[in-house]
Structure 1
Amino acid sequence: MLRFRLLVTSYAVSAYGNYLNLIALSLFSYEVTGTAFGIGAVMAVRLVAGVVAGPVAPVVGARIGRRAVMIGADAAQAVAMAGLAVGGEGTPLWALGCAVLVLGAGNTFFGVALRSAVPVMVGQEGRAHANGLLVTARSLATVLGFASAAPVIAHGGYGTAFAVNAASFVVSGAAVLVLRPRTEEDAPAPAEPAASVPGLPWSGVPALLLGLVALRGTDALASSSHNVALPVVAELAEAHNPALYMSRFWAAWAVGTVLAHQVLKRGGRARGERAFALGTCAMSCAFVLAFTGLPAVALVVAAAAAGFADGWTEIVYTSRLQAAADRERGRLFGLSATAEQGGFALGTVLAAAALESLSPLTVVALFHGAAVCGALALLFTTRPSRVDRKTTGRRYTGERPMSEKPSEGEATHGTRTGDGRLPGA
């Protein structure tokens, strides 16, 4: 586990650079393009690259190995950011476009490879705890990245911010290269029949898993609304210092995600789809509550509750997909990356348009209402039947002891994942 903890540390460094870069790249895009539309176009290129890379990442990983994919993704992103750091304010628009294209695809390639390799690194029984460590590392990196963006840019300019991001990718890639984590199963999986290898990424995926991925995509769409609306609310609530408002919000959110990991690792069970659906409901309600004009203390509590539910759902969801057989995990996480990035991209456009005529609370409530409806639908479809109760004598909870590995039938058929996402997405 020590080797994995070192890998998590390097992942946190990379995540810090990503969130620092998220602020720097947005401001830099405005300087290069000169318009707000340009900022949106640059972000769209990055998101679309991540969506397209989703189904490609598991195919590449199966051919060259997940560890090679992780190293290659970090190396490509490091080169892209180093190019922007050297070019500085004289960077042409086409070079900026190429860089964000590499960032979007690289984040997806790395994320799919890492998430699908976790059960190989730590074993099925340790995957929930490992996912919790990754979520905790990313949450802390989010706060530090956002908090340090302003002073880094103010004192060193965009070139320094980009150089720091490039260095963070070097640290991450070097850690994977030196630590050489085990990312592939020892025994090669038997080849699937030709009929089970369809052209569409979702073909052959069990309906329950498709429901989980669809809800995750809906959650990403909903989360885009509070990411877009929060700066507007911060400006209205504390016009003298909106950055402080946002920092307080995201710091409380990060504390909540850390607490979720602490609770789940003491639970002793790998939670299932019902826990994921309930967590999605709780997260959406907490985010909506945070936009109702609460006083400062109550806002911190609501943000922490949203973070707790956010961390809970991510750990549960990722662990659930990782219960699938090794040969299936890459495809599941590739499909998940496409759903998450696609949902967030669509939601960002729709939420920004809706804010032109609706209040932030209304927009956030509408978007998160869709996530609640999806979660309730999943809860309804997974509720225990009377036959199950009579046969087993107990309620089905969708959970299994964390020490219990999935059976061959379960793993093969998938009984149960930026990562360049924004926080709370």
Structure 2
Amino acid sequence: MSDPGERRYRLLVAGYAVSSYGTFLNLVALNLYVYAVTGRALAVGAFMAARLAAGFAAGLAAGALLARRSARSVMLTANLAQAAALLLLAAAPAGARTAMLFLVAATVGAGGTLFLVALRSSTPALVGEDRATWANSLMVSGRSGAMVAGFASSGLVVSLLGYTAALLADAVTFAVCAATVAALPAARPRPERAADPQPRTRLPAAVAALGTVPALGLMVALRGVDALGSSSHNAALPVYSTRLDPHHPAVFVSVFWCVWALGNVLVQQVLRRRHARGGRPVGARGFGLGTIAMSAAFVLAFAGLPWAATVPIAVLAGAADGLTEVAYTSHLQTLPEALRGHAFGLSATVENLGFGAGMLAVAAALDTFAPLPVVAVAHGTAIALALVFLARLTRRRSTLRAAAPDAARPPFVGGPI
């Protein structure tokens, strides 16, 4: 690419992919380390809860933080903080490791959320609003490959190199990402604004951002329910895989996620080519349809079908997952820049809440029920809300057309539907 902005963004996405590898590596390695240090399964659950709670709180604060600081400084600080926390844990004496683990949980949870909110909200400014779909697709592709690599290598890294080496490698990935963020140009000083005589709290500011676009609040709610559905298949996959093959329980999980990633990468290629040819963005309607396809595919993955059917189902799940993320992110990026950080911060909070609540509910349900009905209920809820969302969009489109019968296509503030 000849455009310096796009070159810098590609470098940033490469750094993000490296740090995403570290994130997925530590999802496995840190949980194992918590259990090795404490010897208690309850501590593993508490560690995950602390991580999710920190991400939840960071989502609430992200909009206000980005209103005061540049996205570059937020991304840089988030990566350096995570790298520093992991280095401190690796160097901590035995007596201090338990306390350090929960400091790492909070730092990684908050840092990951703040980085992603800052990246998503600043993408249009980095590459231009007309290139946002291309940029989001590139970002999702990098993270999908990193997820598979992180999950696939975590067991080998811990087994062959040990926990200390895994923590150091993880810290290096965040340092690499910080270096790519540092390569971005410094933000221009923001003009001074008159003080608001009636200061608003963070959450109402975020809610006000959603209120600027019709059905956007419902869209964010659907994203939260989708996160609940995601928690169901993430929790149920190890159980289902063990039931399929008790002697090789990792086979189904590994193959499923590799094929899922393939579907995700393929759809990103299609989206980028579509954008290069001047095609319209997928929009909110694509997000709703993609959510239905993705949820249905994840339910079918637990139906006990033969591999010949399961593989294309996993490809569909990955493709629909990638499509919905790009459509959702691109749609929120059509908000005015001043509101974007608040909207993405609230979205991150809703997603963390959905995923965390889902993990608790699904873990309890799997003690009693088989994986298929548990996943079907969680993803069925997402499908039901997606149908409501699509009906709302259709009704709005019909209303606009009836109000402007001579218009070839009614305008829609906030992106195409």
Tell me whether the two structures share a fold, i.e. TM-score over 0.5.
yes
Structure 1: give runs of 5+ residues left out of the alignment: 400-409, 417-425
CA RMSD in angstroms comes to 2.2
Find the counterpart in structure 1 of residue 184 from structure 2: 180
Tell me whether 1:20 sits opposite 2:25 in the alignment. yes
Find the counterpart in structure 1 of residue 114 from structure 2: 109
Q: How does 1:187-206 map to 2 (within 5 A)?
A: 197-201=200-204, 202-204=206-208, 205-206=210-211
Shift of 1:246: 1.1
**In the alignment, is the contact (CA less than 8 A) between 2:64 and 2:202 conserved in 1?**
no
Q: Which amino acid aligns with 2:368?
A: S
**3-state DSSP of counterpart to 1:346:** helix
Decide which of 162, 172, 175 is 1:170's aligned counterpart: 175
Q: 1:77 to 1:83 in 2, by over 3 A?
A: same
Find the counterpart in structure 1 of residue 222 from structure 2: 215
Decide which of 209, 232, 238 is 1:231's aligned counterpart: 238
**3-state DSSP of counterpart to 1:342:** helix
**In the alignment, is the contact (CA less than 8 A) between 2:22 and 2:169 conserved in 1?**
yes
Q: 1:387 to 1:376 in 2, by over 3 A?
A: closer
Decide which of 333, 348, 367 is 2:359's aligned counterpart: 348
Structure 2: give runs of 5+ residues left out of the alignment: 1-5
Shift of 1:193: 6.1
Tell me whether 1:83 sits opposite 2:88 in the alignment. yes
129-138 or 292-301: bigger deviation: 292-301
Shift of 1:296: 2.0
The CA deviation string for residues 178-225 of structure 1, in whole angstroms up to 9 with x for no partner, is: x224667x8759769656945534432315211111110010011100
**3-state DSSP of counterpart to 1:92:** helix
**In the alignment, is the contact (CA less than 8 A) between 1:14 and 1:169 conserved in 2?**
yes
Find the counterpart in structure 1 of residue 3 from structure 2: none
Find the counterpart in structure 1 of residue 249 from structure 2: 242
Take 2:28 and 2:323, find their aligned partners in 1: how far apart are those partners? 26
Take 1:190 and 1:318, find their aligned partners in 2: how far apart are those partners? 28
Q: What is the number of residues matched between the two proteins? A: 401
TM-score between the two structures when normalised by the length of structure 1:
0.89
TM-score between the two structures when normalised by the length of structure 2:
0.91
Q: Which amino acid aligns with 2:39?
A: G
**3-state DSSP of counterpart to 1:239:** coil
**In the alignment, is the contact (CA less than 8 A) between 2:127 and 2:135 conserved in 1?**
yes
Tell me whether 1:122 sits opposite 2:108 in the alignment. no
Q: How does 1:267-306 map to 2 (within 5 A)?
A: 267=274, 268-306=279-317
Shift of 1:315: 0.2
Q: How does 1:348-387 map to 2 (within 5 A)?
A: 348-384=359-395, 385-387=397-399
Take 1:241 and 1:394, find their aligned partners in 2: how far apart are those partners? 61
Q: 1:8 to 1:376 in 2, by over 3 A?
A: same
141-150 or 59-68: bigger deviation: 59-68
**In the alignment, is the contact (CA less than 8 A) between 2:400 and 2:410 conserved in 1?**
no
Decide which of 31, 35, 59 is 1:30's aligned counterpart: 35
The CA deviation string for residues 161-181 of structure 1, in whole angstroms up to 9 with x for no partner, is: 11111000000001111x224
Take 1:351 and 1:292, find their aligned partners in 2: how far apart are those partners? 17
**In the alignment, is the contact (CA less than 8 A) between 2:121 and 2:344 conserved in 1?**
yes
58-67 or 302-311: bigger deviation: 58-67
**In the alignment, is the contact (CA less than 8 A) between 1:228 and 1:351 conserved in 2?**
yes
Q: Which amino acid aligns with 2:394?
A: R
Q: 1:91 to 1:301 in 2, by over 3 A?
A: farther
**In the alignment, is the contact (CA less than 8 A) between 1:3 and 1:181 conserved in 2?**
no
Take 1:243 and 1:67, find their aligned partners in 2: how far apart are those partners? 39
Q: 1:375 to 1:291 in 2, by over 3 A?
A: same
Decide which of 370, 380, 388 is 2:400's aligned counterpart: 388
Take 1:265 and 1:306, find their aligned partners in 2: how far apart are those partners? 19
The CA deviation string for residues 58-114 of structure 1, in whole angstroms up to 9 with x for no partner, is: 222221211011110001000111122223766531111111110000001111111
Find the counterpart in structure 2 of residue 337 from structure 1: 348
Q: Which amino acid aligns with 1:304?
A: V
Question: Sequence identity, in percent?
Answer: 46
Tell me whether 1:48 sits opposite 2:61 in the alignment. no
Q: How does 1:242-261 map to 2 (within 5 A)?
A: 242-261=249-268
**In the alignment, is the contact (CA less than 8 A) between 2:241 and 2:252 conserved in 1?**
yes
Q: 1:192 to 1:251 in 2, by over 3 A?
A: farther
Q: Which amino acid aligns with 2:225?
A: T
